[in-house]
Amino acid sequence: MHFDVAALYKAIPALFWGATVTLRVTVLSIVIGLLIGIVAGLARVWPNTFLRTVASAYIELVRGTPLLVQIFLVYFGLPALGLNLDPFVAGIIAMGVNSGAYVGEIVRGGIESIAQGQMEAALSLGMTWWQAMYYVILPQAFVRILPPLGNEFIALLKDSSLVSTIAIAELTRTGQIIITRTFKSFEIWSGVALFYFVMTYAISRVVKYSEKRLRYSE
């Protein structure tokens, strides 16, 4: 077997640049996903039936269709409605909306894992549903939400390779481009994989660390 280390070495600056694009896409998608997901998750446990139904429909629709199709729908589909989006913007919107559904389920699960008695005790003290959520339920739920949220971030980072299909020069796309020039498939894909791994491992460490810091004895 021949592994052309020099070819990989030469590709590192370009791959590194690709990785920063991947990070940007991922971080922005996470932010959008978190915002949507927190709202969707709260709506799912809200006393109001209408909001619950809307949130459920959104979550079912998004989880029931492939992310790749969602990306195509936003990038190639929306222009039919007169909405021409830059690939980067289309990419983070599709990924953010997609992630929001999963985050929503994570948030709902976390909230529902907190014993019903906590809400009842807070309400009995005269707190509003919101106050009870904010001061009593969410701080406890957050500790339980963190690990699955970390998994979601990692999944999202890896799934961001799908936006390579709409010509965003992120890590995967950069790898492809280099290979069309150098034909060093094995070396470059190994390098791409390594870059992904370093980033996912970093996320997983950060999540582990915050988990430890936030843990209180229950």
Partner 1 sequence: MSEWIIQVQNLHKYFGKHHVLKDINLNVAFGEVVAIIGASGSGKSTLLRCLNGLEPIQAGEIIVDGVAVNGKTTDLNRLRQSIGMIFQSFNLFPHMTVLENIVLAPQKVKKIPRKEAEAIALNLLGKVGLRDKAYSYPSQLSGGQKQRVAIARSLAMNPKVMMFDEPTSALDPETVNDVLDVMKELAREGMTMIVVTHEMGFAREVSNRVIYLDDGKIVEEGTPEEIFYHPKNPRTRSFLSKVINV
DSSP secondary structure letters along 79-139: GGGT----HHHHHHHHHHHHHHHHHHHHHHHHHHTS-HHHHHHHHHTT--HHHIIIIIIHH
Measured from the CB atom, the residue of 176 and 210 that comes closer to partner 1 is 210
Q: Which stretch binds partner 1 (CB under 8 A): 1-9, 75-83, 125-133, 178-186?
A: 125-133
Distances in whole angstroms, Cα of residue 145 to Cα of each of 74, 99, 111, 171, 210:
29, 15, 8, 29, 12
Instruction: Judge contact between 191 and 8, C-beta under 8 A.
Output: yes
Distances in whole angstroms, Cα of residue 9 to Cα of each of 13, 59, 193:
8, 43, 14
What backbone phi and psi angles, to 5 degrees, belong to 185?
Answer: -55, -55
Instruction: Judge contact between 191 and 15, C-beta under 8 A.
Output: yes
Site string for partner 1, 59-98 (x = CB under 8 A): ----------------------------------------
Task: Name the token pair of 161.
Answer: 């390779």
124 binds partner 1 (CB under 8 A): yes
Measured from the CB atom, the residue of 64 and 117 that comes closer to partner 1 is 117
113 binds partner 1 (CB under 8 A): no
Selected from 120, 197, 208, 209, the binder of partner 1 by CB under 8 A is 120
126 binds partner 1 (CB under 8 A): yes
Selected from 6, 139, 183, 198, the binder of partner 1 by CB under 8 A is 139
Q: Which stretch binds partner 1 (CB under 8 A): 19-27, 64-72, 127-135, 185-193?
A: 127-135
Measured from the CB atom, the residue of 82 and 117 that comes closer to partner 1 is 117
123 binds partner 1 (CB under 8 A): yes
Measured from the CB atom, the residue of 50 and 218 that comes closer to partner 1 is 218
Task: Name the token pair of 17.
Answer: 């640049």
131 binds partner 1 (CB under 8 A): yes
Residues that bind partner 1 (CB under 8 A): 115, 117-118, 120-128, 131, 135-136, 139-140, 143, 216-218
